[in-house]
Structure 1
Amino acid sequence: MKLIKYLKKSSREHSHLCPRQILGVRIGLCGLKALGLPANEGSKRLLVITETDGCFADGLTAATNCAVGHRTLRVEDYGKTSATFVDTQTGLAVRVAPASDIRERAYQFAPDEFRHYSAQMQAYQVMPDDVMFTVTEVQLATPIEEIVSRPGMRVNCEVCGEEIMNEREVHKDGQILCKACASQAYYEIPVSMSIFEKVNT
């Protein structure tokens, strides 16, 4: 019954339910169980790092109450329906990933369903954790203290002048830089006029 509650919570965001949401909810519940923690309720003890966005991440949020806006859900986009769960008090971290043959196994738990989407919809709600997932204790490449940071940490980039929060600055050649100015950014600024200049011409 608890699973149904979380699935309804997740599907409200989409007006439908899909296999990736179910995976997100199930992996969220499995991660909580592996750490022995409840979902966040006003606390920020649990940090979840999801390896994709979209429906899967919404399923994780429904199960764990972790969200980007609360800084308890981080997206490291590897294009995988996997997630790492971190106890920020102890530093213990576990990564939960689907079994490599999860889609094939789904038919065993929905024997009357020949359509793969429908088989996954049914099976992912009833498959045992040890059949669906691998759970691995991991160590974070970045210390949890650096990921979480501290309130009020702000500096300005010495190149672009923009504010940098949460100790995300880079110290390079004696300068304080944002990541975009310190290395290759995910965006480029064309030589042509800015958007505001275009609007006003």
Structure 2
Amino acid sequence: MGTSQKTLEAYLQESSALHRHLCPRQVLGVRMGMWAAELLDLNLPQTDKRLLTIVETDGCFADGVAVATNCWVGRRTMRVEDYGKIAATFVDTQTGRAVRVIPCSTARQEAHTYAPEARNRWEAMLLGYQRLPVTALLTAQEVALVTPVAAIVSRAGHRVNCARCGEEIINEREVIQQGVILCRSCAGDSYYRPVETATAVPSLP
């Protein structure tokens, strides 16, 4: 059975150090990561790159997950698919097993029961999320990725240039249209658009 190699308190200290405070979403992220160790029978935080984590929002929650799993965007073991949800999918890249974990719909209400000394709703969640039994706090579902793990991770050292803008594309993220290599932006899937700057007209004397 996989285990988390640190205590919840130790993980929360690490997560709060990144933000200079501790919040309920960090607690959720850490506990999701710790539960992933059991669900996928892995020892976490990992020392290699076997686990791939896909989080569905950014911010404090993602850092909580990262601390508990040692999956990071910079190590290419974490992906952010911004659905605006406190949810994460944990993928064992060796076996292909994937589980998606979300908070139970009743977790906010139940948190008050486990933190009777809380002075407000926020503090009740902060304390209660640490104390709730995991099955009362979180729920998990086994899932299959739409994009294969190999395509998500890609091949190191693969580089091509976009035939339209000339920019380099790494990690096999190019798009082929009618036999032409394009970056996603030039292929029409862009999150930005160029701003055309009008040529300044010199002032008349």
Classify the TM-score, shorter chain.
over 0.9
| 1:130 match | 135
Are positions 1:35 and 2:47 aligned together? Answer: no
Structure 2: 5+ residue stretches without partners = 1-5, 200-205
Q: How does 1:63-78 map to 2 (within 5 A)?
A: 63-78=68-83
Q: How big is the alpha-carbon RMSD for the aligned residues of Structure 1 and Structure 2? A: 1.5
Tell me how far 1:105 sits from its aligned partner.
1.4
Contact 1:39 1:46 in 2 (8 A): no
Are positions 1:20 and 2:20 aligned together? Answer: no
User: What is the distance in 2 between the residues matched to 1:2 and 1:93?
Assistant: 24
Which one-letter code corresponds to 2:67 in the other structure?
A: A
TM-score normalized by structure 1? 0.92
TM-score normalized by structure 2? 0.91
Greater shift in the superposed pair: 35-44 or 114-123: 35-44
User: What is the distance in 1 between the residues matched to 2:88 and 2:60?
Assistant: 13
Tell me how far 1:111 sits from its aligned partner.
2.4
Tell me how far 1:80 sits from its aligned partner.
0.8
Q: How does 1:152-167 map to 2 (within 5 A)?
A: 152-167=157-172
Which one-letter code corresponds to 2:122 in the other structure?
A: Y
Tell me how far 1:3 sits from its aligned partner.
0.3
User: What is the distance in 2 between the residues matched to 1:106 and 1:170?
Assistant: 47
Task: Give the paired residue count.
Answer: 194
Distance 1:110 1:42, change over 3 A: closer
Identity score, percent: 54
| 1:45 match | 50
Distance 1:93 1:113, change over 3 A: same
Query: For residues 138-169 of structure 1, what are the alpha-carbon distances to aligned partners after superposition, in whole Å with 9 as ceiling and x for unaligned?
Result: 00000001001111111111111111111111
| 1:109 match | 114
Contact 1:83 1:97 in 2 (8 A): yes
Distance 1:158 1:120, change over 3 A: same
Are positions 1:187 and 2:195 aligned together? Answer: no
User: What is the distance in 2 between the residues matched to 1:110 and 1:42?
Assistant: 35
Tell me how far 1:183 sits from its aligned partner.
1.6
Q: Show structure 1 runs of 4+ deviating over 4 A.
A: none
Tell me how far 1:193 sits from its aligned partner.
6.2
Which one-letter code corresponds to 1:118 in the other structure?
A: E
User: What is the distance in 2 between the residues matched to 1:177 and 1:110?
Assistant: 54
User: What is the distance in 2 between the residues matched to 1:3 and 1:117?
Assistant: 19
Which one-letter code corresponds to 1:18 in the other structure?
A: C
Q: How does 1:163-182 map to 2 (within 5 A)?
A: 163-182=168-187
Structure 1: 5+ residue stretches without partners = 195-201
Are positions 1:97 and 2:121 aligned together? Answer: no
Contact 2:100 2:142 in 1 (8 A): yes
What secondary structure sits across from 1:119 in the alignment? helix
Match of 1:145 among 146, 150, 162: 150
User: What is the distance in 1 between the residues matched to 2:148 and 2:99?
Assistant: 14
Contact 1:40 1:46 in 2 (8 A): no
